[in-house]
Chains A and B, each alone.
Chain A
Amino acid sequence: MEKRITFVFTIFFLFFVLILARLFYWQILSSDYLGALAEKQRLITIPVIANRGQMFASNGSPLVLNQKAFGIYLEPKKIKNKDESINILAQSLGMEPASISAKLQNDKIVWLPIAHKVDENTVEDIKKHNLTGVEFLSESKRFYPEASMAAHLLGFVGKNAKGDDQGYFGIEGYYDEQLRGRNGSIRQELDANGNPILSGELERISAEDGRDLTLYIDKTIQFIVEKYLNIGIAKYGAKGGSIIVLDPQTGGILAMASYPSYEPKNFSYYPADLYKNPAISMSYEPGSTFKVVVMGAAFNEKKVDMKTKFNEEGPIALGGYAIKTWNQKYHGEISIAQILEYSSNPGMVFVQKQLGDDTLYSYLQNLGIGKLTNIDLQDEATPQLRERSKWYAIDYATASFGQGIAVTPLQMVRSVMALANGGKLMEPHVVKEIHLQNGKTISIKPKVERQIYSADSAHIVSEMMVSAVENGETKFLKPAGYHIAGKTGTAQIPIAGHYDSNKTIASFVGFAPVEDPKFVMLVTLSEPTSSPWGSETAAPLFFNITKEIFPYLGISASY
């Protein structure tokens, strides 16, 4: 009897120990794991993806918006008919069936991303087939209502190494931190059917959408500029080209276009070397357009005045080189204004000699040649300005007519902008306002970097530029009744230590109306084949654009 009692007691004791051990295992050893498992069953965490900030033109019309898209994922173990699913997906997504089936070879994969940023219509088509094991997760993608307009300026959104959206080039790259926002999440208690419990646990971390940007860009001017750039490239057989239009009072970019370009929506279909914006990164010798900058310096230093005369009797010999006029014609005694009208290289050498080497160099530095302009675009680059000690007499002489010195189109047009606005060197800007999510707006104020020219000097050179347009080679191109300041430029391209006589960069820089300049514009064409001259290629393009901009801006003829 006692034995049986002991036996039963032992059995009970063992069971007790087993239960204790199991409880110890559940409550102590596996408590974290089981707790997490229970929480996962009871609570759901929904990520709230922040919308990327959008971009608007100066009149509030959209340039970049967001649209709904989907990521498509496969759960290989749940797929019933693999071949059929692969074929349907491949057909709908424009992919090779082999590329999907190759990914499905690995049996260990439970969650396989197939495609990102797929549009709603495609997803609806796929859903009609009721495929098992195909999941769709909500995403957002960029929408460009104006297609490829201002592509170089806007940049594009790609994926970084972590697989997150990231802006590259242009505004997307420069303002990536402002545009990307911060993702949030909702942690909510669910009932047995998977529906949320209102009185249950709720933890919300709000997503903060990216900041919207309003640009200085005028969509109509941008459209006009792109239209004429494409026409000009085809008409003059140029390899490429770019046009920049700035507001001289604020330094705001009204339009900026370059060719060849790409579509930001399908950026991956284009070669990567097209992503860089030539208007802010291309290094070129500005040629005769640079003469107005040097002339401005000479007037500002009072080294020349309107009574100054120059005897253009032949080439100027300097350091073993002969500096000639562009057409080998010499006009004898000419006025200072005629130096620009005839685009006289010897005349500019004379002006540079009056100005002096050191003074010219300090003006180049003050104008920001060789330095970034600090434009709010990601991919700006600049050629270096050679050190002062490496300059020889011939370098100063050739720099006076824009050869032997390299600038970017943006640096060039900014220097001329200082003549248009009374002598102020402005910092160029693309973004005008940043809109915060709390309703506040940060306005980016125009920034004057420094006063380069006195207002009087700037006015005199402006009027000389008007005279160059009205009496120079472009006199038949300009619209009647408007005072337009301008200067042509034809620069040979340096190749392996010498200039290629057949390849040029043709350009025209100018602003209008001179009475109260509303825009300053630079047109550059790389290697035009119909004619190498700026007066026959870039200048007509410039004037065709101004003819459309004048009525748009409500600028009436003044005489």
Chain B
Amino acid sequence: MRTSKILHYCVISIILAILVILQVYFLNTYSTNGQQISDLQKEIESIENQNVRLQTQIASDSAMLAISVQSDSIGLNKSPLTVSLKSPLPVAYRVGQSM
């Protein structure tokens, strides 16, 4: 009975000791890798900035004015004749009275 109690305390002590060592290890590790965190944060910020820059660049290049200028410069013109490929609509305007 007494032996098992001692064994019980020993196990608890070993676990506590391991936990203490682990805590010291992790605290020590995490508290000294601030530079890495800082670098990662800068990288995240840089990538976010790049995304914003790309988004604005895409928006600029696909703007109506930009497309219009480019289409003019390569000689695209408005068609003087519109050809309807749809079947003609009925002669009556809509359901209801007519004049």
Query: A198 within 8 Å of B by Cβ?
Result: yes
In the complex, 10 of the A-B residue pairs with CB atoms within 8 angstroms, ordered by the A residue number, are: A62-B55, A67-B56, A191-B31, A196-B41, A197-B34, A456-B97, A459-B97, A481-B84, A483-B93, A559-B91
Q: B77-90 toward A: CB 8 Å interface, digit per residue (1/0)?
A: 01100101110111
Q: A143 to B56, Cβ gap below 8 A?
A: yes
Query: B4 within 8 Å of A by Cβ?
Result: no
Please give 17 more A-B residue pairs, beta carbons under 8 A apart, in addition to A66-B52, A143-B56, A198-B37: A65-B55, A145-B56, A145-B62, A146-B64, A149-B65, A196-B38, A199-B26, A199-B27, A222-B64, A223-B65, A337-B99, A455-B96, A459-B96, A513-B89, A515-B89, A548-B78, A556-B89
Docked Cα-Cα span, A210 to B93, in Å, equals 46
Stretch at the interface among A241-249, A356-364, A438-446, A462-470: A462-470
Q: B52 to A68, Cβ gap below 8 A?
A: yes
**Chain B residues within 8 Å of chain A by Cβ, number:** 39
**Chain A residues within 8 Å of chain B by Cβ, number:** 50
A-side contacts of B60, CB under 8 Å: 145
Give the contacting residue for B64; candidates A197, A220, A483; CB below 8 A: A220
Known: A68-B52, A146-B63, A198-B31. A550 touches B93 (CB 8 A): no
Within 8 A of A (CB), among B6-56: 26-27, 30-35, 37-38, 41, 49, 52-53, 55-56
Known: A147-B65, A455-B96. A199 touches B30 (CB 8 A): yes
Q: Quote the shortest CB–CB distance from B45 to chain A (angstroms).
A: 9
Q: A514 to B93, Cβ gap below 8 A?
A: yes
- Chain B positions within 8 Å of A, measured between CB atoms, are 26-27, 30-35, 37-38, 41, 49, 52-53, 55-56, 59-60, 62-65, 68, 78-79, 82, 84-86, 88-91, 93-94, 96-99
Docked Cα-Cα span, A513 to B86, in Å, equals 15
Q: B96 to A456, Cβ gap below 8 A?
A: yes
- Chain A's closest residue to B32 (CB) is A191
Give the contacting residue for B31; candidates A68, A197, A460, A513; CB below 8 A: A197
Q: B82 to A551, Cβ gap below 8 A?
A: yes
Query: A32 within 8 Å of B by Cβ?
Result: no
Q: A198 to B33, Cβ gap below 8 A?
A: yes
Docked Cα-Cα span, A223 to B84, in Å, equals 23
Q: Most chain-A CB neighbours within 10 Å: which of B26, B52, B62, B90?
A: B52
Query: A195 within 8 Å of B by Cβ?
Result: yes
Within 8 A of B (CB), among A463-497: 463-464, 466-467, 481, 483
Query: A200 within 8 Å of B by Cβ?
Result: yes
Q: Quote the shortest CB–CB distance from B72 to chain A (angstroms).
A: 12
Known: A199-B27, A337-B99, A459-B94. A145 touches B59 (CB 8 A): yes
Query: A90 within 8 Å of B by Cβ?
Result: no
- Chain A positions within 8 Å of B, measured between CB atoms, are 61-62, 65-68, 120, 143, 145-147, 149, 190-191, 193, 195-200, 219-220, 222-223, 306, 337, 455-456, 459-460, 462-464, 466-467, 481, 483, 513-516, 548, 550-551, 554, 556-559
Docked Cα-Cα span, A280 to B65, in Å, equals 26
- Chain B's closest residue to A220 (CB) is B64
B-side contacts of A455, CB under 8 Å: 96
Q: A467 to B34, Cβ gap below 8 A?
A: no
Q: B86 to A556, Cβ gap below 8 A?
A: yes
Q: Quote the shortest CB–CB distance from A150 to chain B (angstroms).
A: 11
Docked Cα-Cα span, A557 to B85, in Å, equals 10
A-side contacts of B38, CB under 8 Å: 195-196
B-side contacts of A195, CB under 8 Å: 34-35, 37-38
Q: B99 to A306, Cβ gap below 8 A?
A: yes
A-side contacts of B84, CB under 8 Å: 481, 556-557
B-side contacts of A219, CB under 8 Å: 64
Docked Cα-Cα span, A229 to B31, in Å, equals 65
B-side contacts of A557, CB under 8 Å: 82, 84, 88
A-side contacts of B65, CB under 8 Å: 146-147, 149, 223
Q: What are the 8 tightest A-B residue pairs by CB atom distance, in nearest-first order? A: A195-B34, A556-B84, A145-B59, A558-B89, A199-B30, A459-B96, A556-B86, A198-B30
Known: A146-B64, A459-B97. A193 touches B91 (CB 8 A): no
Give the contacting residue for A65; candidates B30, B56, B94; CB below 8 A: B56
